[in-house]
Amino acid sequence: MAHMSPEEFRKQGHAAIDWIADYWTGLDELPVLSQVAPGAVRRSLPASPPETAEPFDALLADLDELVVPGLTHWQHPRFFAYFPANSSPAAILGDLVSSGIGAQGMIWATSPAVTEIEQVVVDWLAQALGLPEQFRLTDYGRGGGVIQDTASTATFTALLAALHAASDGTARESGVGARKWAVYGSSQAHSSLVKAAMMAGLGAESVRSVEVDPVTQAMDVTSFERLLADDIDDGWTPLFVQAAVGTTSTGAIDDVQAIAEAIDGVGAWLHVDAAWAGVAAVCPEHRDRLLSGVHLADSIVTNPHKWLLTTFDCSVLWVRDRSTLIDALTITPEYLRNPASESGAVVDYRDWHPQLGRRFRAMKLWAVLRTYGLEGLRAHIRDGVDLAAYVEELVADDERLELVTARSLSLVVFRHVGGDEPTLSAMHRLNASGVAYLSHTVVEGRAAMRLAVGSWRTTRADIDTTWAELQRAL
Amino acid sequence: MAHMSPEEFRKQGHAAIDWIADYWTGLDELPVLSQVAPGAVRRSLPASPPETAEPFDALLADLDELVVPGLTHWQHPRFFAYFPANSSPAAILGDLVSSGIGAQGMIWATSPAVTEIEQVVVDWLAQALGLPEQFRLTDYGRGGGVIQDTASTATFTALLAALHAASDGTARESGVGARKWAVYGSSQAHSSLVKAAMMAGLGAESVRSVEVDPVTQAMDVTSFERLLADDIDDGWTPLFVQAAVGTTSTGAIDDVQAIAEAIDGVGAWLHVDAAWAGVAAVCPEHRDRLLSGVHLADSIVTNPHKWLLTTFDCSVLWVRDRSTLIDALTITPEYLRNPASESGAVVDYRDWHPQLGRRFRAMKLWAVLRTYGLEGLRAHIRDGVDLAAYVEELVADDERLELVTARSLSLVVFRHVGGDEPTLSAMHRLNASGVAYLSHTVVEGRAAMRLAVGSWRTTRADIDTTWAELQRAL
């Protein structure tokens, strides 16, 4: 049997750490976007698993040859596509410790520290972002936060809580039935909203796509009010409204306050999707813009695994009323009954999300919050915003280019004034060069490039290098 | 700003590896079950996040003092509760590398190696377990496997695919509506089946709980046939049948072949929940029992993160017809469109589960399959089964104890002949001693103790130590 001895684990573990350190050190020299053809990586591996054990070194040795060429390097300093999924040394090591402990936090009793450290760090993060106290778990009443895997799951979970509340508890027993439930988001809402409605049994048709302002790309609240009134007249029950604080396409920020006022008295659940932008509220200067009206929301999600240095996966969902969420999802088979749960003195996080089993994810967020401190996190966010402002200047200085929407935090959306073809051609040439990686979107029917800064390794020199290559590609 | 330099990362990374090695080396001396009171860990931490950065050492130093006493040690050699969630050196290091790479595998194009290595390792695992070829992704037609987080999610995903198929694609658009969909599992089916039905909008009442044989605790297929016929007469549409291969309570194994024959022509989706027991099929001697009839199933799930040495989370779902699953879940916003996806030549795993973002989880399973080899994995499973057989003998040798059900692989379920009170008292005393940790269940209305072997660190001496303490507790 090939179990590693403690000595062998130390040796191989140090080698794995060194591999990562070397990988990062060499990242700048690698093409950001993988150029492999479909099937190439797959065909480079044996068709069947090995019968006998290989040393771990053999896997490490294969990484550079077989794996790295097939990677698009999300930790590369010139990765500007989609949104960042930035990792950091502290988070990696925090998560490593979590793997070593290997505890299951499905309920408090199965490893109390897993639950309680999560309670603490989600409260810390709420404080760090300046969220309203209603979302705090500890000593502030009825709310609370939980670490989930992704914002997709968080949105789905919030939708299930909304259904539970709106159906007076009948949906979890009898199903959603034929009632005409309506779910609202802008045309720019994340695709996970439709997916959530599909998964919850409501169907994609339950999702009403609200028009956006053509300039800001934020929800047109007047249109929303009109749609809402029409739907109510037509017998629909408004169930769930998602306000986007930072859309995926352009970083647009819906007016949460106005949306909340529009549904005052309607009884719909207000969910704020701040998956990418929310963490920027760690800087007080962004709070007016990011958190205005959030005190009126029922739930909010933001992802430390995007722009806050916490290795995927780490998405934090806060709710105003945890009992609704728990009541929507709890099931207790005999083998999970225990005195601590029955005392009501503890949190059992398995009732806060679809899954039962759960990893000690709080460890990596704890590591990030402690080893950066709020000062370090603010500096990181400000670096990203400053670099994006520099990109904005570069766009303004090139008459072939124009901004499509105003810069949103660290996201710049721009295009070639000549239209879609030169815009997309330039982006594809830049990406194919390996120098940088941008992704595209379509805004008001016209193609655009997105440049989202987020890595802690990105410097002004990386922007200059990227820009020089873009000039060649234009 | 407190970003670690590569040198600092090496130093702190080696320290984290060493902490884990030391933690494991000292595990035998720690009480398995944490004895902390609710709130103790939480109150030991500051109420607010730190303003300034701390070195990573400070966190490592806190682990022993603040975290370890609050842990129930799932990697302890005398952890016998629930099912194991065993970690292993190889998996930990594989997952560490995944963190270092920090790639997002939501679609093939966002990092091709993440997807293709997953394709390979789930096919390898299917071969390792001797699964029918219909579940293979590569070169075998219409099936395929995917790594998910938990079996709860896998069951939910399979249910959504079933709904898509049974509704001719209308459910994802129009919702589940008022149609009387019926979901079947035995009274011993995992609680995630009811949770899946709730989340899918069908409601808990859609789940029919089929009687089990009082001796084997496996589904009574005659009762199932009767229930099915009555339901069809009453206007229910049989949608989804879950066969359990290894129930959580007693490790009971439903007759998949007989269940499949019972629904022949009915059109319901047959899902096999082999979350715990499935990985034991790596040993050919268990395949007749574990895989009989599985060739008739539409989907099967097993969790390498339980008994196959792969650090949580790693649950593998295979389906017979991947297109149904993909069609049930796919949504493509503009910013994810790309030529590779549109060519049809690649797999985009984000369409195989509820989440969009996904971690490079294949790395840890790849590490386990390579560094153990099939020989090593078989030896590991056989060790667990042999140790449980030894426990079975010890039960037989003590006239105060009796088996409640026949041993299932590495799970032994037994009780005090004197009834519930002495059974549970003895278990609680044993657990409170810190020497070992068992969990309880209720079988046919009577309390029982469960002893599930699974850690690669458990030896015959650990069983003896546990048994000596149990003798004192009886």
The domain tally of chain A equals: 2
State the Cα–Cα distance between residues A184 and A223, nearest whole angstrom: 12
What is the residue-wise DSSP string for A98-142?
HHHH----SSGGG-HHHHHHHHHHHHHHHHHHT--GGG--SSSSS
- Residue carrying structure tokens 């590693």: A4
Place of tokens 């403690």: A6
Same domain, B268 and B402: no
Which residue in B has a C-alpha nearest to residue A365's C-alpha? B49
What token pair was written down for B474? 């009886």
Asked if A290 and A372 sit in the same domain, the reply is no
- Spatial separation of the C-alpha atoms in residues B302 and B318, rounded to whole Å: 9
Kindly state whether residues B441 and B348 are assigned to the same domain: no
Are B373 and B355 in a shared domain? no
A170 in the same domain as A316: yes
pTM exceeds 0.95 for this model? yes
Task: Please tell me the predicted confidence (pLDDT) of residue A338.
Answer: 82
Beta-ladder partners of A403 = A414
Judging contacts by C-beta atoms under 8 Å, the chain A residues touching residue B90 are 4, 56
Q: Which residues pair with B302 in a beta bridge?
A: B316
Distance CA A246, CA A301 (A): 12
Q: What whole-number distance in Å separates Cα of residue B13 and Cα of residue A16? A: 9
Q: How many CB pairs under 8 A join A and B?
A: 522
Is cis: bond before A313, omega within 30 of 0?
Answer: yes
Closest CB from B21, B41, B194 relative to A117: B41
Within-domain flag for B52: no
**What does the alpha-carbon distance between residue B224 and residue B433 come to, in Å, rounded to a whole number?**
44
Interchain proximity B149–A150, CB inside 8 Å: no
Structure tokens that stand for B453 in this block: 């072997």
The per-residue DSSP string of A255-309 comes to: -HHHHHHHTTTT--EEEEE-TTGGGGGGSGGGHHHHHTTGGG-SEEEE-HHHHSS
Contact A124 B48 (CB under 8 A): yes
Contact call for B104 and A52, based on CB within 8 A: no
Which of B325, B280, B276, B258 is CA-nearest to residue B298?
A: B325
Q: Which residues of A touch B101 (CB under 8 A)?
A: 23, 67, 71, 73-75
In chain B, whose CA is at the least distance from the CA of A382? B1
B286 and B415 both lie in a single domain: no
CA separation for the pair A121, A100 (Å, rounded): 20
Question: Domain boundary residue among A359, A376, A404?
Answer: A359
The parent domain of residue B433 ranges over: 368-473
Closest CA to A81 of A437, A321, A458: A437
Instruction: List CB contacts (< 8 A) between A305 and chain B.
Output: 357
Query: Which of A36, A103, A331 has its CB closest to that of B72?
Result: A103
Min Cα distance A293 → chain B (Å) is 24
Closest residue by Cα to residue A122 from A380, A401, A349, A325 = A349
DSSP codes of every residue in A367-419 = HHHHHHHHHHHHHHHHHHHHHHHHHHHHHHT-TTEEESS--BTTEEEEEETT-
Q: Which domain-ending residue is among B359, B392, B411?
A: B359
What pLDDT band is residue B453 in, cutting at 50, 70 and 90? very high
Whether the bond between B313 and the residue before it is cis, its omega within 30 degrees of 0, is yes
Q: Which pLDDT does position B334 carry in this prediction?
A: 74
Residue B53 has pLDDT above 90, yes or no: yes
Q: What is the pLDDT of residue A2?
A: 63
- Put simply, the answer to whether A205 touches B174 (Cβ < 8 Å) is yes
Q: What is the pLDDT of residue A440?
A: 96
Determine, for residues A199 and B23 on separate chains, whether the beta-carbon distance falls below 8 Å. Answer: no
CATH number, domain with residue A121:
3.40.640.10
Give me the tens of pLDDT residue by residue for chain A, a chain 474 residues long. Answer: 468 888 999 999 999 999 999 999 999 999 999 999 999 999 999 999 999 999 999 999 999 999 999 999 999 999 999 999 989 999 999 999 999 999 999 999 999 999 999 999 999 999 999 999 999 987 667 899 999 999 999 999 999 999 999 999 999 999 999 999 999 999 999 999 999 999 999 999 999 999 999 999 999 999 999 999 999 999 999 999 999 999 999 999 999 999 999 999 999 999 999 999 999 999 999 999 999 999 999 999 999 999 999 999 999 999 999 999 999 999 877 777 788 877 778 899 999 999 999 999 999 999 999 999 999 999 999 999 999 999 999 999 999 999 999 999 999 999 999 999 999 999 999 999 999 999 999 999 999 999 999 999 999 999 999 999 999 999
Residue with tokens 């408004």: A238
Q: Per the domain annotation, does B45 fall within a domain?
A: no
Considering the domain architecture, whether residues A274 and A165 belong to the same structural domain is answered as: yes
Report DSSP letters for A315-346, one per residue: EEEEES-HHHHHHHH----GGG--HHHHHT-S
Q: Is B216 helix (H, G, I), strand (E, B) or coil?
A: coil
Look at residue B25 and tell me if it is in a domain.
no
Nearest to B161 by CA among B349, B272, B326, B318: B326
Smallest Cα distance from B268 to chain A, Å = 18
A381 and A333, same domain (yes or no): no
Tell me: pLDDT of B269 over 80: yes
Distance separating alpha carbons of residues B315 and A72, to the nearest angstrom: 25
A14 vs B14: CB contact, 8 Å cut-off? yes
CATH number for the domain that contains residue A393: 3.90.1150.10
pLDDT in tens, B368-382: 999 999 999 999 999
Q: Do the Cβ atoms of B21 and A13 come within 8 Å?
A: yes
Question: What distance in Å separates the CA atoms of residue A377 and residue A307, rounded to the nearest whole number?
Answer: 10
| Among B38, B90, B373, beta carbon nearest to A50 | B373
Q: Is residue B24 part of a domain?
A: no
Amino acid at site A389: A
Non-local CB neighbours of A470 within 8 Å, separated by 6+ positions: A426, A430, A436
| Cα B91 to Cα A178, A279, A440, B24, B364, distances in angstroms | 47, 31, 36, 15, 5
In this structure, the number of other CB atoms found within 10 A of the CB of residue B434 comes to 18
Asked if A458 and A387 touch (Cβ cutoff 8 Å), the reply is: yes
CB contact under 8 A, B9 and A20: yes
Task: Give pLDDT, residue A340.
Answer: 80
Q: Which residues, at least 6 apart from A441, have a Cβ–Cβ distance to it below 8 Å?
A: A248, A249, A250, A413, A447, A448, A450, B334, B335
Which residues lie across from B181 on neighbouring strands?
B237
Place of tokens 């797959």: A42
H helical segments located in B80-150: 89-101, 112-129
B54/A373 touch (CB, cutoff 8 Å), yes or no: yes
Q: What is the DSSP letter of B251?
A: -
Cβ distance of A93 and B13 shorter than 8 Å: yes
Q: Which of A34, A36, A100 sits opposite B23 (nearest CB)?
A: A100
| pLDDT at A100 (0 to 100) | 96
Q: How far is B60 from chain A (nearest CA, A)?
A: 9
Closest CA relative to residue A302, chosen from A280, A276, A327, A321 = A276
* β-strand pairing of A411-416 with A401-403: antiparallel
Q: What is the pLDDT of residue B179?
A: 93
Cβ–Cβ gap A10/B1 under 8 Å: no
List % helix, strand, coil for chain A (3-state, nearest 5): 50, 15, 35
pLDDT in the model for residue B4:
87
A271 residue type, one letter: H
A67, A337, A380, A425, best to mutate vs chain B, most B CBs in 10 Å: A67
Is there a contact between A388 and A412 (Cβ–Cβ < 8 Å)? Answer: yes
Within 8 A of B51 by CB-CB distance, chain A residues are 373-375
Give burial (CB, 10 Å; 0-12/13-18/19+) of A264. exposed
Question: Contact B90/A175, CB-based, under 8 Å?
Answer: no
Q: Which of B66, B138, B152 sits opposite A355 (nearest CB)?
A: B152
Q: Which of A334, A359, A384 is the last residue of a domain?
A: A359
Looking at the fold, whether A346 and A401 belong to one and the same domain comes out as no
Residue B94 lies in a domain: no
If asked whether residues B384 and B328 sit together in one domain, one would say: no
Residue B43 domain flag: no
Structure tokens at A70: 């097939």
Does residue B125 sit in the same domain as residue B253?
yes
Mean pLDDT across chain B: 96
Residue A284's contacts (CB-CB under 8 Å, 6 or more residues apart) are A130
Same domain for B284 and B405, yes or no, is no
Is residue B287 one of the residues assigned to a domain? yes
Which of B52, B131, B199 to mutate to test binding with chain A, by most A CBs within 10 Å of its CB?
B199
Nearest-angstrom CA–CA distance, B345 and B350: 15
In a domain, B107, yes or no: yes
Report in angstroms the alpha-carbon separations of A244 from A261, B8, B286, B331: 16, 38, 52, 19
